[in-house]
A and B are shown apart, each in its own frame.
Chain A
Amino acid sequence: KEICLNPGALSTLDSITLMYPFFYRPMFEVIEDGWHSFLPEQEFELYSSATSEWRLSYVNKEFAVCPSYPPIVIVPKSIDDEALRKVATFRHGGRFPVLSYYHQKNGMVIMRSGQPLTGTNGRRCKEDEKLINATLRVGKRGYVIDTRSLNVAQQARAKGGGFEQEAHYPQWRRIHKSIERYHILQESLIKLVEACNDQTHNMDRWLSKLEASNWLTHIKEILTTACLAAQCIDREGASVLIHGTEGTDSTLQVTSLAQIILEPRSRTIRGFEALIEREWLQAGHPFQQRCAQSAYCNTKQKWEAPVFLLFLDCVWQILRQFPCSFEFNENFLIMLFEHAYASQFGTFLGNSESERCKLKLQQKTMSLWSWVNQPSELSKYTNPLFEANNLVIWPSVAPQSLPLWEGIFLRWNRCSKYLDEAYEEMVNIIEYNKELQAKVNILRRQLAELETEDGMQESP
């Protein structure tokens, strides 16, 4: 379970089926099979009570329309499967726009997709335009948030990609935000880890290395974009469509973080697990490629990128600013980070649902959720300060508010003894408070009973 600090050949096993999860035999009793804990149908039920504008589509049942999508997706009711097939040919990787989040408060939605394949000659797709407009209510406008800078998006046209021309999507306004991708992120992580691991750095060198890693700049970019999306939904009452190029990395960071900000349910343990299942695993984030090696490994692999770790870091940043609004604690996030990179469970194996299906993970491996959701495990990850907060939570994105996540990056380099003891003391105070309250309540009831008894004795 420990992260391999010096990953050699073992951590780059070519054949997935030779990996640990296929040989791991659980030594615990499975109370709830995690493979069935978060079914798309159940998730949809949560929405269907609030709206009838959306439907489940099984158009991707055989993974034929979009290899990186799950078999079941949520799409506008008015768009039939035939249209979806056509739209898929117009979107990168066949990733036609699907529902990511429905904001119950005002009915606005977050959708995500791959980039439109407009190319240099400005190709159009009537069905795509129809689908996107179908998500808007009468007289409403929407925002397309492109996670690339305008420049990068324009360059993408040369390779057949592109972005929505406002002339063809008149009700939509496009906003470009720049979130870095792939090797730039990986290099950033390598630099950061290197800076953290050298304890001999003097102050100037440490600060300049921390700055040069750009890690916190990426955190700020991602959080800012997520906040912008949430702001469109909650404050502007406008729906948003989010995509970058493939729609499997920065897109998912933004859609999932926006939900953390907007949706109280996603700040609970179950809700967060569901979010990861929906917005990362089923949405086709290529975990196998992105987390091929240890996060601490400093050699480059082509598709390696700490996209998921950045997401977790952003969640930690929000958790730090709203320490009572999350049901889980920092350890939960660290645990997810560990399992995304190396795990005895099958959950994060493969790059998409279709790959996971082919590998028969459900039959051959154990789900992480089966393990984590046992009461004894959950207690480690429960935030003692949690109190449901039904508000939208807006984090600060100023550099002064975004510290380094020491629990991850300095965990092997700092002594956390005193911090751990202080945490324990805090838990003790909270537990003691609960105990005292319970005792007071019992005593009050007891006294009340005695008083009535006395009254009864006296009344006849």
Chain B
Amino acid sequence: LTHIQNTELETYFTSNKSLTGTLYLTATHLLFIDSHQKETWILHHHIASVEKLALTTSGCPLVIQCKNFRIVHFIVPRERDCHDIYNSLLQLSKQAKYEDLYAFSYNPKQNDSERLQGWQLIDLAEEYKRMGVPNSHWELSDANREYKICETYPRELYVPWTASKPIIVGSSKFRSKGRFPVLSYYHQDKKAAICRCSQPLSGFSARCMEDEHLLQAISKANPVNRYMYVVDTRPKLNAMANRAAGKGYENEDNYSSIRFQFVGIENIHVMRSSLQKLLEVNGTKGLSVSDFYSGLESSGWLRHIKAIMDAAIFLAKAIMVENASVLVHCSDGWDRTSQVCSLGSLLLDSYYRTIKGFMVLIEKDWISFGHKFSERCGHLDGDPKEVSPVFTQFLECVWHLTEQFPQAFEFNEAFLLQIHEHIHSCQFGNFLGNCQKEREELKLKEKTYSLWPFILEDQKKYLNPLYSSKSHRFIVLEPNTVSFNFKFWRNMYHQFDRTLHPRQSVFNIIMNMNEQNKQLEKDIKDLESKIKQRKNKQTDDILTKELLHSVHPESPTLKTSLCFKEQTLLPVNDSLRTIEGSSPADNRYSEYAEEFSKSEPAVVSLEYGVARMTC
């Protein structure tokens, strides 16, 4: 543990002021404590980049960008200290081995059986049972039990019962990374399925009888509609280019009962640079409205979000309207395919809109099917070209749905933000590694903890107070994807810039009120039973008195009730709200602001890092 005193934390987007304090470097966190003893904690694993800027008169500026979109600016008085910190952070934020990640040292003081219980909270076999498989059309295949057919798939896979092992093996050889078509979601009501796989190795003309057979088996597993959709989530051009490399897409002529469809979601590299542009624009000092919107447009971010949403809607419609099964793939079938399959299921099945169901969904379509969390989130010092905000986009799509359907989700925005926090934190084992096989080799279930029980313990924080749980499981969400329905998710990309947020949160108030209502209901019950008791006692007393008056004029047991205390009536919601007026210094209304605020103390709350605010 090292520390450097007199470091300044610049609140420089807000005003030209800064807070002075001490910077501490621990094994896991960077900690800044200001003169008011306010603490700012930054997990090393959250650090995306550290930058040392040119020396200034006040010291050496250090800019840290985090994966949870926090940006902090420090000014370290001595350049050598700054250099040391810079080097340490570079090392600490990029680990070479999984075993050096926080999860392996994190100790929440639980014993082994508690730890195991935590891991058993989400049981995918249970989930497939809930969906209604195995059944007369779908069965559990043991083909991949030893990861022999596909290393990046889970051990347990569901396939049509007519698909024999040779067919599976044959098909897997015809699919990129051996990721052959398997069940992702089964719609019990419509008897239709969402299946997933990777691209076929078709090149310009190659065919594979087993693969064609497997697809036919899937379409036949749907008793209502024998046509199925094959959805290639890539732009057509990309898919065509892949043919030159011996990969490609299905030829409708070779498969007897498919309808083929491109939906045009861009690849991980486009998404990475899109997010980068978005963050650049939003990090600009003195951002104008017009720069904000033209930046939002040129980043293409919302266009990508809409493309993913449209693809998921395509899935939901195919199942609901046409009663058709759908097979989804992209290139390797672990990025766009995961996005579209999970989002499609969430539109179809209200279970996935509950807290527990959403965890199950992530475990199923993301973790078990081998979304490469460690590579996409850059957990280890690896290839930066593998990093991409694919999962973040999924969370953002869900957020857009919560905006359009405020009552359809059991969870709130904080839940999504918390999950996003932990895909990068490496504090829990769930998101470490790139596939189940790797996770088993890392012995994560023995050496690390699962995130989900910790979230469930804190469930209250993540509940949507407006949630209306309808009894029917298959209420489908039909979001409107007109462009104006997609908005910049400020609470994600500026979650630490509190001055940009509404100063009073309707959501928190309603959430607290809901809690208070529960307490009040309890109070009423208590009071009513007390009153009843009291009344019974009175009637009893009168009876006893009448009977025993001559014998026992004074009952000593009743004397206690004499000490009657005036109870204070319940306060009206005062405690529920924090009224804030905030400060003009947070907002830079004019070039005169600096001059104006000379005598004013800094009002910026450090807790939230550097606020980016301009006028």
Report A's interface with B, CB cutoff 8 A: 175, 177, 196, 199, 201-208, 210-211, 214, 216-217, 219-220, 224-225, 227-228, 230-232, 234-236, 320-325, 385, 387, 389, 391-404, 406, 410, 413-415, 418-419, 421-422, 425-426, 429-430, 432-433, 436-437, 439-441, 443-444, 446-448, 450-455, 457-459
**Chain A residues whose C-beta falls within 8 Å of the C-beta of B528 in the assembled complex:** 443
In the bound assembly, the distance between CA atoms of A385 and B513 in angstroms comes to 11
Contact check, A439 vs B524: say whether CB atoms are below 8 A apart: yes
**Chain A residues whose C-beta falls within 8 Å of the C-beta of B483 in the assembled complex:** 201-203, 205-207
Known contacts A433-B573, A450-B534; decide if A323 and B504 are in contact (CB<8 Å): yes
Known contacts A211-B294, A395-B587; decide if A455 and B484 are in contact (CB<8 Å): no
CB within 8 Å of A: which B454-484 residues: 465-466, 468, 480, 482-484
CB contact between A426 and one of B499, B510, B521 (< 8 Å): that residue: B510
Q: Does B538 contact A (CB under 8 A)?
A: yes
State how many angstroms separate the Cβ of B446 from the closest Cβ of chain A: 44
In the bound assembly, the distance between CA atoms of A210 and B554 in angstroms comes to 84
In the bound assembly, the distance between CA atoms of A207 and B300 in angstroms comes to 10
In the bound assembly, the distance between CA atoms of A206 and B486 in angstroms comes to 10
CB within 8 Å of A: which B417-439 residues: none
CB contact between A217 and one of B289, B580, B593 (< 8 Å): that residue: B289
Contact check, A211 vs B567: say whether CB atoms are below 8 A apart: no
CB within 8 Å of A: which B570-591 residues: 570, 572-573, 577, 579-584, 586-587, 589-590
In the bound assembly, the distance between CA atoms of A430 and B294 in angstroms comes to 40
Known contacts A216-B289, A414-B480, A454-B558; decide if A202 and B564 are in contact (CB<8 Å): no
Total contacts A to B, CB within 8 angstroms? 246
Known contacts A400-B282, A433-B516, A453-B538; decide if A220 and B289 are in contact (CB<8 Å): yes
**Chain A residues whose C-beta falls within 8 Å of the C-beta of B293 in the assembled complex:** 207-208, 210-211, 216, 399
In the bound assembly, the distance between CA atoms of A322 and B487 in angstroms comes to 20
| Nearest A residue to B537, CB-CB | A454
CB contact between B500 and one of A205, A400, A410, A436 (< 8 Å): that residue: A400
Contact check, A447 vs B297: say whether CB atoms are below 8 A apart: no
**Chain B residues whose C-beta falls within 8 Å of the C-beta of A440 in the assembled complex:** 520, 523-524, 527, 570
Can you sample 27 A-B contacts with CB below 8 Å?
A203-B303, A203-B486, A204-B297, A206-B483, A210-B484, A216-B293, A219-B289, A224-B589, A228-B590, A231-B589, A387-B579, A389-B581, A393-B503, A394-B581, A398-B287, A398-B615, A399-B291, A402-B289, A418-B408, A436-B521, A439-B524, A441-B570, A444-B527, A448-B564, A452-B564, A454-B558, A458-B555
**Chain A residues whose C-beta falls within 8 Å of the C-beta of B494 in the assembled complex:** 400
Q: Which of A219, A394, A448 has the most C-beta atoms of chain B within 10 angstroms of its own C-beta?
A: A394
CB contact between A325 and one of B288, B509, B514, B579 (< 8 Å): that residue: B579
What is the number of residues of chain B that contact chain A, defined by CB distance less than 8 Å? Answer: 93
Contact check, B520 vs A433: say whether CB atoms are below 8 A apart: yes
CB contact between A391 and one of B501, B579, B597 (< 8 Å): that residue: B579
Contact check, B584 vs A231: say whether CB atoms are below 8 A apart: yes
Contact check, A394 vs B564: say whether CB atoms are below 8 A apart: no
State how many angstroms separate the Cβ of A428 from the closest Cβ of chain B: 10
- Name the segment of B109-117, B246-254, B399-407 touching the other chain: B399-407
CB contact between B405 and one of A418, A433, A437 (< 8 Å): that residue: A418
- Per DSSP, chain A at the interface is helix
Q: Does B238 contact A (CB under 8 A)?
A: no
In the bound assembly, the distance between CA atoms of A398 and B613 in angstroms comes to 6
Contact check, A396 vs B566: say whether CB atoms are below 8 A apart: no
Contact check, A393 vs B581: say whether CB atoms are below 8 A apart: yes
The 6 closest A-B pairs by CB, nearest first: A391-B581, A211-B293, A399-B292, A206-B483, A422-B406, A436-B520
State how many angstroms separate the Cβ of B406 from the closest Cβ of chain A: 4
CB contact between B584 and one of A235, A406, A426, A436 (< 8 Å): that residue: A235
In the bound assembly, the distance between CA atoms of A217 and B590 in angstroms comes to 15
| Nearest B residue to A393, CB-CB | B581
Q: Mark B276-296, 1 if CB is under 8 A from A, else 0.
A: 000000100001111111101
In the bound assembly, the distance between CA atoms of A216 and B486 in angstroms comes to 17
